[in-house]
Amino acid sequence: MIFISHKLDEVLQVSNDITVMRQGTTVAETSPGNIDRSGLAELMVGSELPSPAGRTSVIKDAVRLNVENLTVIGVEGRPAVDDASLAIRSGEIVGIAGVEGNGQYELCAALLGLMPSTGTVSVDGADLTKATTRQRHDAGLAYIPFDRHREGLMLNAPLWENTLLGREDEEQFGKGPLVDAASIRAYTVDIIKRFGVLTPNETTPAFALSGGNQQKLIVGRTLTTDPRVLVAAHPTRGIDVGAQAAVWDEIRRARDNGMAVLLVSADLEELLGLSDSIAVMFDGRITATLNPDDITASELGNYMTGVHEEVAS
């Protein structure tokens, strides 16, 4: 049996022998008895294992995203998001921690105007509570989706058409009433180069890319709009450790340029390493606000499962 996976714990558990490939070439042959998870990851990346840690944020006073008393009613008639309030300043990453199904998706959907809600949402002081999704996008609110296939890509379309999504009416990509295909293709080539998307060219259909390269395209498409606020939902889910490092670096770079980030992630290392503060969601409510420097992954897990609910700082 040949078992192909970037989930290293599974590889170590089920394999008798392990072959490591990088960019189409065999770089190592080993076995579970001779290597651990960290060593295997370093072979995959070709260098020291990347880490999300090492925050050097310069957080400014200006509040970019302000959410007050946000409530979203779920499908069963009970609040999926219950009276949530948070503020994210320029240059700040606020993480959202929680077991999946505790209101994270509905929170993001409401911020984007995709689900009806009560409460207020503003970006840079502009009230977007009644704004459409398009108006929120134009106001500088950007989104890396939970599911890149279901929400983020047209899988059968070429990469340049995927890059155009949401930007069809921008003057730089238009030629009268028509899309300027040459302009958007050149723009897509720039994204491919800057974000290290491995693909033959910009006309390749999105389904032909690996999950990591699909994700890098989405991140590149999103961040090159220079958003004021980024809602990033599981930005490194299902991608290899090399692509993880690239996504982390780009989010940090945008944050350093003044962007505010709401980071939703099930990866506790990612949350603790990237976030300047962490809000815990449990049963639709924000039950704690934590300093990642003062908490371990195990302690964070206790908050996520409802063991602790008091607000900390």
For 18, the token pair is 């392990």
Q: Are residues 99 and 223 in the same domain?
A: yes
Q: pLDDT tens digit string along 206-254? A: 999 988 899 999 999 999 999 999 999 999 887 777 778 888 888 988 9
- Tell me what pLDDT residue 313 has: 39
Residue of 166, 90, 82, 83 lying closest to 125 (CA atoms): 90
Percent of the chain scored above 70 by pLDDT? 94
E strands along 153-214, which residues? Answer: 174-175, 178-179
What is the C-alpha end-to-end distance of the chain, expressed in Å? 50
- Domain assignment present for residue 97? The answer is yes
- Domain assignment present for residue 145? The answer is yes
Which residue's entry shows tokens 């302000």?
Answer: 66
Number of domains in the chain: 2
Q: Are residues 134 and 250 in the same domain?
A: yes
Q: Are residues 249 and 283 in the same domain?
A: yes
- Domain assignment present for residue 58? The answer is no
Q: Rounded to whole angstroms, how far apart are CA atoms 99 and 65?
A: 24
Q: Are residues 22 and 144 in the same domain?
A: no
Asked if residues 20 and 28 have their Cβ atoms less than 8 Å apart, the reply is yes
Asked if residues 204 and 197 have their Cβ atoms less than 8 Å apart, the reply is no
Q: Are residues 41 and 68 in the same domain?
A: no
* DSSP element (H, E) containing 287: strand 285-290
Q: Which residues pair with 63 in a beta bridge?
A: 89
For 69, the token pair is 């008393």
Task: Report whether pLDDT(123) > 90.
Answer: yes
Residue 94 φ then ψ, to 5° = -110, 120
Q: Residue 50's pLDDT band (boundaries 50, 70, 90)?
A: low
Which residue's entry shows tokens 């929680």?
Answer: 98
Task: Report whether pLDDT(51) > 70.
Answer: no
Residue of 103, 32, 50 lying closest to 72 (CA atoms): 103
**Higher local confidence (pLDDT), 211 or 95:** 95
Residue of 182, 258, 196, 195 lying closest to 224 (CA atoms): 195
Which residue's entry shows tokens 């998706």?
Answer: 105
Which residue's entry shows tokens 């105007």?
Answer: 113
Q: pLDDT tens digit string along 54-88? A: 656 789 999 999 999 999 998 778 899 999 999 99
Asked if residues 218 and 191 have their Cβ atoms less than 8 Å apart, the reply is no
Contacts of 171 (CB under 8 A, 6+ apart): none
- Domain assignment present for residue 57? The answer is no
Q: Are residues 27 and 161 in the same domain?
A: no
Q: Are residues 33 and 80 in the same domain?
A: no
- Tell me what pLDDT residue 310 has: 53
Asked if residues 78 and 115 have their Cβ atoms less than 8 Å apart, the reply is no
Task: Report whether pLDDT(148) > 70.
Answer: yes
Q: Are residues 155 and 288 in the same domain?
A: yes
Using N-to-C axis directions, what is the helix angle for 181-194 and 211-223, rounded to 10°?
Answer: 110
Q: Rounded to whole angstroms, how far apart are CA atoms 81 and 85?
A: 10
The CATH number of the domain where 130 resides is what?
A: 3.40.50.300
Q: Rounded to whole angstroms, how far apart are CA atoms 216 and 220?
A: 6
Q: Are residues 109 and 252 in the same domain?
A: yes
**Higher local confidence (pLDDT), 58 or 117:** 117
Q: Are residues 254 and 297 in the same domain?
A: yes
- Domain assignment present for residue 296? The answer is yes
Q: Are residues 77 and 196 in the same domain?
A: yes
Q: Are residues 223 and 192 in the same domain?
A: yes
Q: pLDDT tens digit string along 267-281? A: 888 899 999 999 999
- Tell me what pLDDT residue 28 has: 92
* DSSP element (H, E) containing 4: none
Q: pLDDT tens digit string along 172-198? A: 898 888 889 999 999 999 999 988 899
178 lies in which domain range?
A: 63-304
Which residue's entry shows tokens 């890149």?
Answer: 148
DSSP 285: E
DSSP 88: E
- Domain assignment present for residue 309? The answer is no
For 53, the token pair is 């840690």
- Domain assignment present for residue 210? The answer is yes
For 196, left (φ over 0), alpha (ψ -120 to 50), or beta?
left
- Domain assignment present for residue 270? The answer is yes
